[in-house]
Structure 1
Amino acid sequence: MRLARLGRTGEEVPVVLVGDRAYDLRAITEDIDGVFLERDLDRVRAALGEGSLPEVERVGRRVGAPIARPGAVVCVGMNYAAHAAESGSAPPEQPVVFLKHPNTVVGPNDDVPLPAHALKMDWEVELAIVIGRTAWNLASREEAAACIVGATVADDLSERAWQLEASGGQWSKGKCAPGSTPLGPELVTADELDLGNLRLRSRVNGEPRQDSSTADLIFDVAAVVLDLSRYMRLDPGDLVLTGTPEGVALSGRFPYLRDGDVVEVEIEGVGTQQHRVTAVGAAA
């Protein structure tokens, strides 16, 4: 099943996608949120089988983030060995965790604001998994996998100067600029994906940057959820970004993002997003 939210910011309509068609879910839920993901997916399947959902126009409409504002955006750093190496670090022995502010989540194709005092804005294609049931102090990988309702595409945009030079060792300063988590375009339920073998790619102005696979994750998605559950409770609708592969500007091989750059990130079978970097404000 593929879920999306269509419409202007703050006015998104929840839909289920079947091929090129979109069907309105407002008879079942006001939005795609944790309550809906935990309780109502079977109702959607039944309604599709009955043909009772009205079709809505899809072409020409803005695509919003595929879940309403999550309660938490939890991220795993250096979860690909080659990315850890290009960052100057050894592969971690346990997941490295940081947080992003939920208000950073925006639509997949929305413009990305580039603050005037941002000097080193970087791209990071990531598989984002969505929690569908409460995960707390889980006992096994199987329990952890059962808590994953689906996945989508994220660009974990990161301001490296804020993250590494002004952070005091805490990465979240460089991860929370407005609009720094473009998400979507679709939420694909886990039963349609092999989360351990998905190709991830990114491009800047059409030029290749990242090209890897979730098969190269140091800690796979079940291991990540299992580990997180021992330290925090994940609730339905929470978002977990699972890490980015090599090929970012931090490597020194590419320039950081500038006004007018267009970033494209995609994950095989999950979706593609494209956003323009747009300078805002004046230097302080």
Structure 2
Amino acid sequence: MKTACEIMRFVQFTRDGDQKLGLEIGDGKDLVDLNTWNSEIPTNLRSFVEGGDENLKIVRSLLDNNRKDIQNYTVPRDSVKIQAPITNPEKIVCIGMNYRDHCLEQNAPVPEEPVVFSKFPSCIIGPYDDLPYPKETKKLDWEVELAFIIGKEAKHVQIQHAMDYIFGFTVALDVSARDWQIGKNGGQVLLGKAMDGFCPLGPVVVTKEDINDVHNLGIRCKVNNVLKQNGNTNQLVHSSAAIVAHISRFITLKPGDVILTGTPPGVGFTRNPPEFLWPGDIVECEIDNIGKISNRVVL
């Protein structure tokens, strides 16, 4: 079993105004400043991923051969600002209706093929940033989701090879304006899903090799410390590999692209009566072995 220092948990942060790429280690109170440790390492995760396996080899070599030096390059977590682990992807692709039990709560059929929609890079905010409440909606809703980061260009990928194209996994909050997703805009969901700030991400990206079974993880969402969603990724209809294989039939996936895989049951609009977010609410999204994000809704 790997130690906490051997698991690759990438984090982006700023310190003294400088953009940094680091690793979360131990209990998460300290971060390794990779850029100070080795100036060849890019300062953002997208560039790091675009560099391919060579960058991973550099980091693994640092950890394997310079373990005694690691404390010289650590910084306290409370001395930095944690950013979203990916801030500038080319694409954010989302999968809807992808948990069997979420389909059941809506009395909806389980999709035979992934239901695909999109967000924009402007949707991304940090794991602890304020979540803006748009004046255009009165039905703001929560959806905790497992997300993954594409590691290399993917086009017409076969499902048996698809996991090779995934770099790692993170936590996402798929914020939804239900009044615009359902019943407005001619039935198109885009505006209800893609308003500014509608995709908090983080706090880390864990490489796929460092999660034993990504399709058997507890996944939860709390609002004001009240548990709203409590599921497991073993309820996914279409696996991460199936999603990559399907999307890459139509769209070339690029390194750094973010894919959201769907949400378990317990979202606000399916409740009786329906529940929605309001300014002042705090939304916490957590996935086992990855981490937790927390965002306050603000005007």
TM-score computed with the length of structure 2 as normaliser: 0.88
> Is the helix fraction higher in 1 or 2?
2
Query: In the alignment, which residue of structure 1 is the partner of 2:121?
Result: 102
Query: In the alignment, which residue of structure 2 is the partner of 1:4?
Result: 11
* Partner Cα distance (2:16, 2:194) in 1: 19
* Partner Cα distance (1:124, 1:149) in 2: 23
* Partner Cα distance (2:32, 2:208) in 1: 20
Deviation at 1:108, TM superposition (A): 0.7
Given that 1:86 and 1:250 are in contact with CA atoms closer than 8 Å, whether structure 2 keeps it comes out as no
Q: 1:170 to 1:39 in 2, by over 3 A?
A: farther
* Partner Cα distance (1:229, 1:172) in 2: 20
Query: In the alignment, which residue of structure 2 is the partner of 1:282?
Result: none
Deviation at 1:9, TM superposition (A): 11
Given that 1:199 and 1:212 are in contact with CA atoms closer than 8 Å, whether structure 2 keeps it comes out as yes
1:49 aligns with 2:64: yes
- CA deviation string 1:136-178 (max 9, x = no partner): 0012x23111111110000000001111121323211111111
1:185 aligns with 2:198: no
Query: In the alignment, which residue of structure 1 is the partner of 2:45?
Result: 32
Aligned length: 278
- Equivalent position SS for 2:81: coil
Q: Quick check: 143-152 or 7-16, which moved more?
A: 7-16
Of 222, 225, 236, 2:244 maps to 225
Given that 1:6 and 1:58 are in contact with CA atoms closer than 8 Å, whether structure 2 keeps it comes out as no
Give the unaligned 5+ runs of structure 1.
280-284
1:268 aligns with 2:288: yes
Q: Quick check: 126-135 or 77-86, which moved more?
A: 77-86
* Partner Cα distance (1:65, 1:242) in 2: 18
Q: 1:122 to 1:96 in 2, by over 3 A?
A: same
* Partner Cα distance (2:241, 2:291) in 1: 21
Deviation at 1:37, TM superposition (A): 5.3
1:157 aligns with 2:164: no
Q: Counterpart amino acid of 2:34?
A: L
Deviation at 1:67, TM superposition (A): 1.9
1:14 aligns with 2:21: yes
1:23-172 equivalences in 2 (<5 Å)? 23-26=32-35, 27=39, 28-33=41-46, 34-36=49-51, 39-51=54-66, 54-139=73-158, 141-172=159-190
* Partner Cα distance (2:150, 2:16) in 1: 23
* Partner Cα distance (2:250, 2:263) in 1: 22
Give the unaligned 5+ runs of structure 2.
1-7
TM-score computed with the length of structure 1 as normaliser: 0.92
Give the CA RMSD over aligned residues. 1.8
- Equivalent position SS for 2:269: helix
Query: In the alignment, which residue of structure 2 is the partner of 1:240?
Result: 259
Deviation at 1:264, TM superposition (A): 0.6
Q: Counterpart amino acid of 2:262?
A: G
* Partner Cα distance (1:7, 1:203) in 2: 28
* Partner Cα distance (2:186, 2:288) in 1: 36
- Equivalent position SS for 2:94: strand
Given that 1:12 and 1:64 are in contact with CA atoms closer than 8 Å, whether structure 2 keeps it comes out as no
Query: In the alignment, which residue of structure 2 is the partner of 1:251?
Result: 270
Q: Counterpart amino acid of 1:108?
A: P
- Equivalent position SS for 1:59: helix
Given that 1:38 and 1:133 are in contact with CA atoms closer than 8 Å, whether structure 2 keeps it comes out as no
Deviation at 1:85, TM superposition (A): 3.4
- Equivalent position SS for 2:60: helix
Query: In the alignment, which residue of structure 2 is the partner of 1:196?
Result: 215
Deviation at 1:115, TM superposition (A): 1.2
- Equivalent position SS for 1:218: coil
* Partner Cα distance (2:178, 2:53) in 1: 36
* Partner Cα distance (1:245, 1:10) in 2: 38
Q: 1:200 to 1:128 in 2, by over 3 A?
A: same
* Partner Cα distance (2:51, 2:217) in 1: 26
* Partner Cα distance (2:53, 2:16) in 1: 24
